[in-house]
């Protein structure tokens, strides 16, 4: 029984926020949905998602309002609110889109952080330095990239 629990725990940890990119992981190509991708509409959809999920606790491997991790939240948000399917894991999401300079961030861009040497975190940029994400300590929240914690750990941003 302990071996099964260990295998399940390892599998969950590799799929959620956290591991370095696995070069054997091949993410499917993005396919834009039918929803509008105008910046103001994206912001509206992101704030709506925040209002629906605000405070939902962080749970590694979680995909529901009982608990969600960062990459699961990003994947669900893009599918439900923007009509864009995204891979489930942070490492796969980091390979989507085109890398952009931090100075050019727009609503809907993915922002990535290196929270530890082998751990990655993802959120969705909204506006004015703010991004939406599932925080390990506070659940689903809006944070500021310029906060000293996130500023030191900023890795890159991509636009889909």
Query: How is residue 24 written in tokens?
Result: 């054997």
Active site residues: 70, 121, 133
Q: What is the pLDDT of residue 100?
A: 97
Check if the beta carbon of residue 82 is closer than 8 Å to that of residue 118.
Answer: no
Tens-place pLDDT, residues 15-52: 446 543 333 233 334 444 444 478 899 999 999 999 99
Query: How is residue 32 written in tokens?
Result: 């834009």
Query: How is residue 145 written in tokens?
Result: 């990239």
Compute the average pLDDT of residues 101-122: 96
List the chain domain ranges: 2-18+36-159
Check if the beta carbon of residue 139 is closer than 8 Å to that of residue 58.
Answer: yes
Q: What's the pTM value of the predicted model, to 2 decimals?
A: 0.80
Check if the beta carbon of residue 91 is closer than 8 Å to that of residue 20.
Answer: yes
For tokens 């961030």, name the residue.
105
- Return mean pLDDT, the chain: 83
Tens-place pLDDT, residues 130-157: 999 999 999 999 999 999 999 999 999 9
Tens-place pLDDT, residues 70-102: 999 999 999 999 999 999 999 999 999 999 999
CATH number (3.90.1720.10, 3.30.565.10, 3.30.465.10, 3.90.950.10) of 2-18+36-159 reads 3.90.1720.10
């Amino acid at each position: 029984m302990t071996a099964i629990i260990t295998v399940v725990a390892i599998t969950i940890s590799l799929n959620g926020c956290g591991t370095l990119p696995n070069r054997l992981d091949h993410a499917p190509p993005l396919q834009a949905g039918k929803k509008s991708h105008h910046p103001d509409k994206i912001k509206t959809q992101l704030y709506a998602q925040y209002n629906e999920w605000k405070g939902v606790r962080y749970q590694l491997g979680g995909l529901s309002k009982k608990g969600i991790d960062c990459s699961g939240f990003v994947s669900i948000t893009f599918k439900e609110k923007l009509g864009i399917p995204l891979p489930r894991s942070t490492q796969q999401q980091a390979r989507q889109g085109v890398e952009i300079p931090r100075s050019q961030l727009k609503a809907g861009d993915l922002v990535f952080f290196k929270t530890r040497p082998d751990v990655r975190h993802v959120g969705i940029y909204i506006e004015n330095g703010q991004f939406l994400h599932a925080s390990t300590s506070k659940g689903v929240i809006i944070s500021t990239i310029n906060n000293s914690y996130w500023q030191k750990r900023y890795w890159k941003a991509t636009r889909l």
